[in-house]
Structure 1
Amino acid sequence: MKNSLFIKATLSEETERPPVWMMRQAGRFMPEYWEIKNKYSFLEMCKTPEIAADVTMLPVDLLGIDAAILFSDILVTGEAMGGKLSFEQGVGPKFSNPIENSRDVDALEVNCLDNLRYVADAIKVIQERLAKLGDKQIPLIGFAGAPFTVMSYLVEGGSSKDFKKTKLFMNNQPAVAHKLLEKIADVTVDYLNMQIAAGVNAIQIFDSWALALSWDDYKDFSHYYIKNIISRLNRVVPVISFCKGSSVFAPLMAEAKPDVVSIDWNADIRNVKQSLPQGMAIQGNLDPFVLYADKKVIKEKVLRIIERMRGEKGFIFNLGHGIMPDIPFDNVKYAVELIKEFRY
């Protein structure tokens, strides 16, 4: 992958243009995704290597992005540990056995890597397909959910607008919360190292709901565990750290020593980049809602970010969070083409 723009940027090497990929790039905004989704459940798609490979390859083939990301879900670790996971159309993920107390945490399994072998199998199939692209050198990004985000789903039993149960759990049972986070962190280390061994070219850690936390709670209940995970990874591939709330938490994120900090759209990307340690790259940070707009607006806002990063090594163009399901495919493709045509 020495010629990959994405890998060069993660290592803060000079590139002629920013590489681009987009969170949730293989998803519901694509008609081709629905052709597959209408035949299988979401978990069947994740757990069948050939199908996971089909979906992973969609944005490579249809958008021409610079990196693929494994088709899976951040909650597969929670399921492997013993969470009873399902996905309901229009509702999202559900755990039917939410965590409430120390006894529930004790019942969770840590030596559960065998329950996640289907992910390693999918990685091998995807890499076989990417290899057929020849000189294009499209790297594959593996990923996992950060402990706090996974914990929030396990405690809430699904998605939440206010994280009330999670915050009560943290405040009233802090020792139990830390015991749960430690278990999730241990599984996450094993899981990510398995992905690296299976052949991914980079890793991203998603802390999707960190923005719900205060500074001190982020430090104690999120950052501490992400730092622990990153320190235990087999660092033969670049590591990206993302959280919603990164415009606030970037200084702490950098202390965990990822190769790349991925930021939401609330901060000035150049200011954040210049606040990071020398040689640490940055990823982001277009507001995904821009992609609903007219193409002249998309062009203006995409190019504004790229121009803002002119002269800075180590920049990957991405969104501040994932693509929404009803964003027009043509708008996403237009944004990708704009970036790929750009030259510094």
Structure 2
Amino acid sequence: MTNNLQNDLLIRAAFSQPIPRPPVWMMRQAGRFMKEYWAIKNKYSFLEMCKTPEIAADVTMLPVDLLGVDAAILFSDILVTAEAMGGKLSFEQGVGPLFANPVRTWDDAEALRTDVLGELQYVGDAIRVIQQRLQGRIPLIGFAGAPFTVLSYLVEGGSSRDFKRTKLLLNNEPEMAHLILQKIADVTIDYLNMQITAGVNAIQLFDSWAQALSWNDYRTFAHTYNTQIISKLHRKDIPVISFCKGSSVFAPLMAEAGPDVVSVDWNADLRNIKDSLPHGVAVQGNLDPFVLYADKKVIKEKILYLFERMRGQEGFVFNLGHGIMPDIPFDNVKHAIEVVKEFNY
């Protein structure tokens, strides 16, 4: 797969192979901080953008063409699997994702469908369009939401600050939680393997809300299912990146699940995390996204400090500790990417 890529820095870094500089891409790099994104978003709903392959490709290509990143990431959403399983999903401006039919009972859980790959084919179609446009310039990253995170949205009915309903479910009705998680895991395995068949070059599993969990609950309700998913991917030559908010705590368990790369939030020292992981497990991260609000001089200093910490380490992908915020200045993001691309080991 990498033989066809003109720039395979991400793939080589993910597999802990020697590279001249760290590759750079950023979570939410095709997003609301770009006026070009809004030119598209003002014409369509968010779900229309995700479900129309040509539009999804347009948005995916924005950071490729405007920022010069070393990898593209598919424009989609982690909740498309939950929608396909039966969730009535909408996105409300200023609120975020909402499910009109949250999962609250055994009947609700049993009603969730798993034979849903046909309803997600628009994602495969988008991948094919994107790869036609990329023409092998850089890798395309596919992704999915991890089961615990997807469950939390289904159970809460949207975003949550305290995950009260989710934690009540885990504590009072663990069997129901496991039923839901297994269904999501089954769908996610099929979905990611479909993305691989369609042509993605790498996969990232997003467990965005894992930091809500205790260590034991993470092991039981997140790690178990993430391990299952990673073990069942058709991943020959396809690196798998595991991300969660809370990776500074859960990194050892994340590595046990078998990914090629552990993506680290900004709460930890990246070199310390790298040194604690098994040989051959790469790390991704971990600049605090809020640094991108700062003066360009500060942005450069913080990036170069991180690079000095990681000097001599194979298996390092530069990224943020989480996604780009909508009001970060575009020029600051571009400057950060230029700083990375000018660096040489």
TM range (shorter): over 0.9
1:161 alignment counterpart = 161
Distance in 2 between residues matched to 1:224 and 1:15, nearest whole Å: 33
1:172 alignment counterpart = 172
Distance in 2 between residues matched to 1:280 and 1:38, nearest whole Å: 41
Distance in 1 between residues matched to 2:91 and 2:12, nearest whole Å: 37
Structure 1 length as normaliser, TM-score?
0.98
Please list every run of 5 or more consecutive structure 2 residues that lacks an aligned counterpart in the other structure: none
Distance in 1 between residues matched to 2:179 and 2:112, nearest whole Å: 11
Deviation of residue 245 (structure 1)?
Answer: 0.1
2:102 alignment counterpart = 98
Alignment of 1:8-19 (within 5 A): 8-19=12-23
1:121 alignment counterpart = 125
Deviation of residue 172 (structure 1)?
Answer: 1.0
Deviation of residue 119 (structure 1)?
Answer: 0.1
2:282 alignment counterpart = 281
Deviation of residue 30 (structure 1)?
Answer: 0.2
Deviation of residue 101 (structure 1)?
Answer: 1.3
2:187 alignment counterpart = 187
Letter in structure 1 aligned against 2:22: P
Distance in 2 between residues matched to 1:16 and 1:188, nearest whole Å: 34
Give CA-to-partner distance per residue, 1:242-280, whole Å, 9 cap, x none: 000000000000101100000000111011111111111
Distance in 2 between residues matched to 1:33 and 1:294, nearest whole Å: 24
Deviation of residue 140 (structure 1)?
Answer: 0.1
2:42 alignment counterpart = 38
1:267 alignment counterpart = 268
Deviation of residue 189 (structure 1)?
Answer: 0.1
2:33 alignment counterpart = 29
Distance in 1 between residues matched to 2:119 and 2:155, nearest whole Å: 21
Q: CA RMSD in A?
A: 0.7
Comparing 65-74 with 235-244, greater Cα deviation is found at: 235-244
Deviation of residue 308 (structure 1)?
Answer: 0.7
Distance in 1 between residues matched to 2:89 and 2:311, nearest whole Å: 44
Letter in structure 2 aligned against 1:317: F
Moved over 3 A (4+): none
Please list every run of 5 or more consecutive structure 1 residues that lacks an aligned counterpart in the other structure: none
1:337 alignment counterpart = 338
SS of residue matched to 1:240: strand
SS of residue matched to 2:241: strand
2:54 alignment counterpart = 50
SS of residue matched to 1:83: coil
Distance in 1 between residues matched to 2:204 and 2:272, nearest whole Å: 22
Give CA-to-partner distance per residue, 1:115-148, whole Å, 9 cap, x none: 10000000000000000xx6xx300000000000
SS of residue matched to 2:120: helix
Structure 2 length as normaliser, TM-score?
0.98
SS of residue matched to 1:192: helix
SS of residue matched to 1:205: strand
Structure 2 residue 156 is the aligned partner of structure 1 residue 142: no
**Percent of aligned pairs with the same residue?**
76
